[in-house]
Amino acid sequence: MHEITFSTVDKPKLLSQLTSLLSEIGLNIEEAHAFSTVDGFSLDVFVVDGWPHEDTQQLRNAVEKEILKSKGNLSLNQHSLFPISEHSQTQSICSDDFVKIPIDGADVWEIDASLLKFDNKVGSGSFGVLYKGSYCSQEVAIKILKPERVNKDMLREFAQEVFIMRKIRHKNVVQFIGACTRPPNLCILTEFMSRGSVYNFLHKQRGAFKFSALLKVALDVSKGMNYLHQNNIIHRDLKTANLLMDENEVIKVADFGVARVQTQSGVMTAETGTYRWMAPEVIEHKPYDHKADVFSFGIVLWELLTGELPYSYLTPLQAAVGVIQQGLRPTIPKNTNQKLAELLERCWQQNPTLRPNFSEIIEILQHISKEVGDEGEDRHKDKSIGGFFSALRRGHH
């Protein structure tokens, strides 16, 4: 898969002409994004497949050749073609006003598998194994696809995860380090999160969050999710197992195996995620948007509050049926902060349009935190986030 960007003077039917140009080369357009500036320029970004070679120089030459053939209809400067980044899968055709970044042919995220060092296995799933290790002296988490389980769907999911993660930069989203895309060593490297998942803390270590710690965790998650949504990324599998804790007491959103860039229509279909946290519109295979993540966040917030597994008395399938047929939701404890209880109920509204955005959720959580933060701080030292993690370090679960 390759990303091709055209920057030129805006003109009528430009997008149609560029589409035809790529089609003539034999490329299939998976995504197209068109932007126009107020001063009359156009930026058109295409994600394409169908190019049979890894060598992107050949693709660049083919695009240049097609531009020359079309120069009577297409006013692009043939001398302005150069890669906009060092990423070997990204080629661009840019106006001469762009800063020309030197390139050396190196791929900025493709890693050398021979430089990987494995320490110990952290976890295992049906399709992959997670290891703690190091790469060029940096501590990393290494997710390796099991070769015997690799199929076309898995490869598509793997490619999508790399495609999304390489663009993400936020302190509340697990940082992508690199990937190896050459079989049989298919793997993704991220920063290593030393304290593991929130799910393991709650349900395996039998830990519990004091209220101030809960608000801090919820804010971290909300900020990470707000960043993803602002970049048109829907996570689609938000749950406590995908919330990881680092050594600096920061919670980060992880695992983008089923995440997707939101379509231009704004809605998506197909079931994905985990039933206990899944929004009703997703369970029912109805079109959905970023508000599906907000529903999942509501379930996560309840889980942080209670320390219980959602619908623990039901199988995942029974829970899904209850959610869509009976409007089933977890029971909010009676002593819950009123504003937090109201937020929970808003997040898991049946109608997605009634759910808040994460930007609003952040404001609500900050307001609640301010209200309760100083109140009783001196009387209840153990409610601090530091106190919580100190207890975690001592193994007092």
What pLDDT shows up at residue 12? 75
Tell me the CATH number at 374.
Answer: 1.10.510.10
Catalytic residue among 220, 237, 289, 293: 237
The per-residue pLDDT for range 314-371, each reduced to its tens digit, is 998 899 999 999 999 999 999 999 999 999 999 999 999 999 999 999 999 999 999 8
CATH number of the domain that 130 lies in?
A: 3.30.200.20
Neighbours of 75 (CB within 10 A): 12
Q: What angle do CA 14, 83, 22 make, to 5 degrees?
A: 35
CB 307 within 8 A of CB 208: yes
Domain end marker among 175, 191, 207 = 191
Which residue range(s) make up the domain with 184? 113-191
Task: Classify burial at 327, counting beta carbons within 10 Å of its beta carbon; exposed 0-12, middle 13-18, buried 19 or more.
Answer: exposed
For residue 101, being part of any structural domain is answered with no
69 vs 24, 63, 72, 335, 389, CA distance in Å? 11, 10, 8, 72, 64
Quickly state the pLDDT bin for 83 (edges 50, 70, 90).
very low
State the virtual CA torsion across 151, 154, 159, 164 in degrees, nearest 10. 170
If one counts the domains in the chain, the total is 3
Q: Assess whether pLDDT exceeds 60 at residue 376.
A: no
| pLDDT digits 0-9 by tens, 185-225 | 788 899 999 898 899 899 888 888 889 999 999 999 999 99
237 assigned to active site: yes
| Count of alpha carbons within 13 angstroms of residue 227, beta-carbon side | 17
The pLDDT score that the predictor gives to residue 297 is 97
Q: Map residue 165 onto helix, strand or coil.
A: helix
* Residue 207 sits in the same domain as residue 183: no
**Tens digit of pLDDT for each residue in 53-65?**
777 788 888 888 8
Residue 184: is the preceding peptide bond cis (ω within 30°)?
yes
Q: Answer yes or no: do 233 and 361 share one domain.
A: yes
Q: Which residue has the tokens 């049946």?
A: 350
143 is in an annotated binding site: yes
Residue, of 101 and 86, whose pLDDT is higher: 101
pLDDT value at 94 more than 60: no
Q: Is the pLDDT of residue 303 over 70?
A: yes
Tell me what pLDDT residue 364 has. 96
What is the structure's pLDDT at 86? 33
User: Where is average pLDDT lowest: 25-29, 35-39, 137-141?
Assistant: 35-39
Q: What's the burial of 242, exposed, middle or buried (CB within 10 Å: 0-12/13-18/19+)?
A: buried
Question: What is d(CA 210, CA 320) in angstroms, rounded to the nearest whole number?
Answer: 29
> Among 191, 226, 243, which residue terminates a domain?
191
User: Quick check: is 19 in a domain?
Assistant: yes
Q: Residue 106 above 70 pLDDT?
A: no
Residue 79: give its domain's CATH number. 3.30.70.260
Q: Which two tokens stand for residue 339?
A: 């504003």
Query: Amino acid letter at 353?
Result: T
Place of tokens 């999304």: 164
Question: Which one is predicted more confidently, 269 or 110?
Answer: 110
Please check whether residues 163 and 214 belong to one and the same domain: no
pLDDT band for position 73 (cuts 50, 70, 90) = low
Instruction: Give pTM, 2 decimals.
Output: 0.66
pLDDT reading at 140 higher than 80: yes
Asked if 300 and 223 sit in the same domain, the reply is yes
Q: Domain boundary residue among 191, 222, 248?
A: 191
pLDDT digits (tens, 9 = 90+) for 234-270: 888 899 989 999 988 899 998 866 545 554 444 444 4
